[in-house]
Amino acid sequence: MTFLEQSANHSAAVILSLAIILFSGFLVTRITKKLRLPDVTAYIVAGILLGPYVFRLVPQEMIDGMDFVTDIALAYIAFGVGKYFKLSELRKSGRQVILITLFEALAAALAVTLMMTFVFHLSVSFSLLLGAIGSATAPASTIMTIRQYRAKGDLVNTILQVVALDDAVALIAFSICAAIVGELESGSGSLNWKLFLEPLLLNLFAIGLGAICGYLLRWIISARRTREHRLILINAVIFSLTGFCTLLDISPLLSCMVMGTVYINVIADKDLFKQVNHFSPPIMLLFFVLSGMRLNVPMLATAGMIGVGYFFVRIIGKYVGAYAGAVVSGASAVIRNYLGLALVPQAGVSIGLAALGQRILPAGAGALLSTIILSSGVLYEMVGPASAKMALLLSHTIEEPPISGGRESKKTSAAKEKGRIAALSLEKDGAAKPAGKSCGPKIVRRAGEMPQKGKGRRNGHHV
């Protein structure tokens, strides 16, 4: 039993737990930066160390009581992703993004389903649900990695749009598979349409609600309001929409993403998204550290080779599917070769779908499904950021990772930028002057006059 568990003051225990999580997440980033790993990896490692199976610094009661952080973090992530779905951009790459998303999601689902059925000889019900969950991709760690390295370009835009649409495909695929599994498990001769339609209709309702909220934001958050009031109001709207979706037992991802999409298309206000990005880092840290805490280390032995097989086959399915989709849609070689590396992470939506699948399957199969998704999800979140960074490096989207995010590195980069601008300026000045002309002070001489000794010289050299 830890000191915090023994504490009679519950408020103090909660506050100290939050402080430990924030400090630990930050301190581990000091180590991962030396190894040139993204911050997300550090947060998850910190969570594993703080969790109930290593140092037990944070009580299990606190971990269970902070489930709401997951929904809030996913809501912020989804809202931020919405700004990348501008209609002007979608007209250019919409078909490409849809094709790539369908190929990579369905390829991963098919690969996992076939392996579970024919290699491990598990039930069709279990294989279908695990395959449907395997199609999901967690946008959080990939987006955090892109933000950390300030990456931009066609590959980054495609990654952000694909990971956003991916969850929509996963939700639809899971709804269809849940209906089929419900029929198989019940043994009745009729298809359980309610099991199929209910999640689909609820998600369509959430999308509509997000669109309404996004349209109303133009009046709620007007340019007349101060930055502080704008931040307060957008947080209130995100919290309200997230709470309502949670009340309906659906993911806030789709609704918040649609809200961000509608807002950026109705009024081109990117400043609001920047404000949210500046506010959300502590919430993101809490989310990833808590994900690490939830890894049930002893259960890894229970999953065994089934979990290992799922881990690797899903990655292969994602990469092959993304490559095939990029080829069919006519995407560039950079997108074909490196997009799949950024689709490795899986958490958030997949964990929620695993909880739903556990209710549908028999007790033993449901527990195995949950164990595989939870354990592999944390491992994916550790490997995924490094894989996404590799994609950005190999595609030359980023040249080199930052060694330190501190003040010194910012000064160094600023000095380098000033030096680069000065060099370009000198090159332009030199190009503008005729050849043979000096860039120094102009010395006027009379015709036929030779330079006198000591004139026009400085430190023994002609000026």
Instruction: Indicate the fold that domain 67-401 takes in CATH.
Output: Na+/H+ antiporter like fold (1.20.1530)
**Average pLDDT of span 347-360:** 78
Task: Using alpha carbons, list the distances in angstroms from residue 298 to 42, 304, 348, 378.
Answer: 22, 11, 21, 14
Statement: residue 143 has pLDDT above 80: yes
**Which of the 8 DSSP states describes residue 348?**
T
- Phi and psi at 280, nearest 5°, equal -85, -15
Tokens for 295, please give them: 């890894």
Statement: residue 315 has pLDDT above 80: yes
Distance CA 295, CA 288 (A): 11
* Predicted pLDDT of residue 183: 74
In the block, tokens 């990005």 appear at 277
One-letter amino acid of 59: P
- Please check whether residue 86 is in contact with residue 330, taking contact to mean a CB–CB distance below 8 angstroms: no
Distance CA 186, CA 356 (A): 16
Distance CA 74, CA 52 (A): 24
For residue 238, the SS3 value is: helix
Distance CA 357, CA 116 (A): 16
**Which of the 8 DSSP states describes residue 270?**
-
Question: Would the CA dihedral through 172, 175, 176, 178 be positive or negative?
Answer: positive
Distance CA 166, CA 132 (A): 12
Give 210: exposed, middle or buried? Use CB within 10 Å, 0-12, 13-18, 19+: buried
Tokens for 278, please give them: 């500046």
* Predicted pLDDT of residue 229: 94
Distance CA 253, CA 239 (A): 12
As beta bridge partners, residue 457 has: 462
For residue 9, the SS3 value is: coil
365-421, pLDDT tens digit by residue? Answer: 888 898 898 888 878 878 888 899 999 999 999 876 444 444 444 455 555 555 555
- Please check whether residue 35 is in contact with residue 404, taking contact to mean a CB–CB distance below 8 angstroms: no
Rounded to 10°, the helix 87-118/124-134 angle is: 150
Q: Considering only 256-260, 313-317, 375-379, which range has the smallest mean pLDDT? A: 375-379
206-254, pLDDT tens digit by residue? Answer: 889 999 999 999 889 887 899 999 999 999 999 999 999 888 877 787 8
One-letter amino acid of 3: F
pTM summary value: 0.72
**Average pLDDT of span 14-24:** 94
